[in-house]
């Protein structure tokens, strides 16, 4: 793919749009960036740097004429494909792609990509930590921290790229093909963006659509959607709570047992420094990825046990008068809230709410019975949760 002399538009000037513009400019493209925010709302550092490099910036909306006259349109993750200008661009023959698609086309390194409704950041960070502790030069990013494309701007070679991938980022991929794909779970979320749950699910499943026979797909076999996936074009490794014939990882006698390429190893769950059974399950794909790349058990055990939990994810804050205060503010959908409640071995006072994403809270109400002592609802979703 040649970028030199190409006219490329970017919608969205957040961190992803910024690094995308830097990469495009470095490769000789004529870059146009637009954002619905006003100029004073955009990060001044981004605006000044891009203007200095000769990028064209349009605030307070989109320059439709420029976009429709572009060779390529790159969408930032927060930008919906349903925007009229995006639809028109596709109709006019403009190639519309995601930032991860652009980065992939120039990335010479193996990629481990993690998606799912919940648990992505923890699993992505833990995989990155395991490889760092093993002496591997690993870039960790995507929907977590730095955008994928930023690794191509750094003056070093990588051994491995580990990416958290959201459904938004998967909407406009064409060739994106990880060496290892991981899908942790699929439950309703972002129903304010997708027309229905099927649309959301299909978008998540795009992560492995381009994978080949020599690559791996790791699936949570306890998930009712993922357990039904059948494919022969990629090596499938399944994990789940109970031991089953087709599972490469499962719980057995307070240990995670791994069965891979004729090798059996067990890892004590006591070494996992995370709250909740769901986080024990989430450690399974981390171990499987390590086995795929041949990391020794002794190094792997030490790396997992030294992992520091991410902030805002079942994070113990302080304890007073026998009450433990836990920050789980990254639980932004029903399933993640349920997993948090299930993961606490005590009665719970629940403070929940926030943006209304069109979710059904009936399952949360059912799980809260007998476990949640008091509940306080806040934000625009409070009314719907109270019902």
Nearest CA to 334 out of 160, 163, 117 is that of 117
CB 284 within 8 A of CB 242: no
Q: Spot the catalytic one: 143, 172, 185, 279.
A: 143
Give dist(CA 285, CA 314) in Å, integer. Answer: 20
Distances (CA, A) of 64 to 42, 96, 171, 303: 20, 14, 21, 50
Which distant-in-sequence residues (6+ apart) come within 8 Å of 9 by Cβ? Answer: 32, 33, 34, 63, 66, 67, 70, 72, 73, 74, 94
Please confirm, yes or no, whether 261 is among the known catalytic residues: no
301-305 CB contacts, 8 Å cutoff, 24+ apart? 301/267, 301/271, 302/133, 303/129, 303/130, 303/133, 303/134, 304/126, 304/130, 304/267, 304/271, 304/272, 305/271, 305/272, 305/273
Q: Spot the catalytic one: 190, 206, 278, 339.
A: 190
| Tokens 């790229």 -> residue | 161
Nearest CA to 337 out of 118, 116, 184 is that of 118
Q: Spot the catalytic one: 25, 58, 118, 120.
A: 120
Tokens representing 18? 């910024």
CB 283 within 8 A of CB 272: yes
Please confirm, yes or no, whether 120 is among the known catalytic residues: yes
Give dist(CA 69, CA 218) in Å, integer. Answer: 41
Please confirm, yes or no, whether 190 is among the known catalytic residues: yes
**Residue 157 — φ and ψ, nearest 5°?**
-95, 150
User: In the beta sheet, which residues pair with residue 350?
Assistant: 375
Query: What order of strands is seen across the sheet that includes strand 7-11?
Result: 56-58, 30-34, 7-11, 72-75, 95-98
Return the H-helix or E-strand segment holding 22: helix 15-26
User: In the beta sheet, which residues pair with residue 74?
Assistant: 10, 97
Q: Which residues are catalytic?
A: 120, 143, 190
């Amino acid at each position: 793919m040649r970028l030199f002399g190409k006219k490329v538009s970017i919608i969205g000037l957040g961190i992803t749009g910024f690094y995308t513009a830097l990469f495009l400019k470095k490769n000789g493209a004529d870059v146009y960036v637009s954002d619905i925010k006003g100029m004073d709302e955009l990060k001044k550092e981004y605006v000044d740097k891009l203007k200095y490099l000769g990028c064209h910036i349009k605030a307070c909306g989109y320059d439709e004429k420029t976009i429709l006259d572009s060779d390529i349109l790159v969408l930032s993750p927060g930008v919906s494909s349903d925007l009229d200008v995006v639809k028109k661009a596709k109709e006019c023959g403009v190639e519309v792609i995601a930032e991860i698609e652009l980065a992939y086309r120039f990335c010479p390194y193996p990629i481990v990509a993690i998606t799912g409704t919940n648990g992505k950041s923890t699993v992505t960070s833990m995989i990155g930590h395991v490889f760092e502790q093993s002496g591997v030069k690993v870039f960790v990013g995507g929907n977590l921290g730095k955008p994928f494309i930023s690794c191509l701007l750094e003056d070093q070679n990588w051994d491995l790229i580990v990416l958290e991938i959201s459904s938004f980022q998967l909407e406009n991929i064409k060739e994106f093909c990880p060496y290892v794909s991981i899908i942790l779970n699929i439950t309703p979320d972002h129903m304010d963006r997708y027309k229905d749950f099927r649309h959301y699910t299909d978008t998540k499943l795009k992560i492995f659509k381009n994978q080949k026979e020599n690559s791996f797909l790791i699936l949570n076999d306890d998930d009712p959607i993922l357990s039904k996936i059948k494919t022969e074009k990629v090596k499938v490794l399944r994990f789940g709570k109970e031991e089953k014939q087709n599972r490469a990882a499962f719980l057995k006698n307070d240990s995670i047992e791994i069965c891979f390429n004729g090798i059996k190893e067990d890892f004590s769950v006591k070494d996992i420094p995370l709250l909740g059974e769901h986080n024990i399950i989430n450690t399974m794909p981390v171990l499987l990825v390590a086995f795929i790349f041949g990391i020794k058990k002794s190094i792997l055990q030490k790396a997992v046990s030294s992992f520091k939990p991410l902030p805002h994810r079942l994070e113990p804050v302080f304890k007073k008068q026998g009450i433990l205060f836990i920050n789980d503010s990254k639980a932004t959908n029903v399933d993640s809230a349920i997993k948090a409640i299930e993961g606490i071995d005590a009665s719970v006072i629940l403070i929940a709410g926030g943006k209304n994403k069109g979710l059904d809270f009936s399952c949360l109400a059912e799980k809260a019975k007998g476990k949640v002592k008091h509940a306080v609802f806040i934000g625009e979703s409070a009314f719907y949760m109270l019902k």
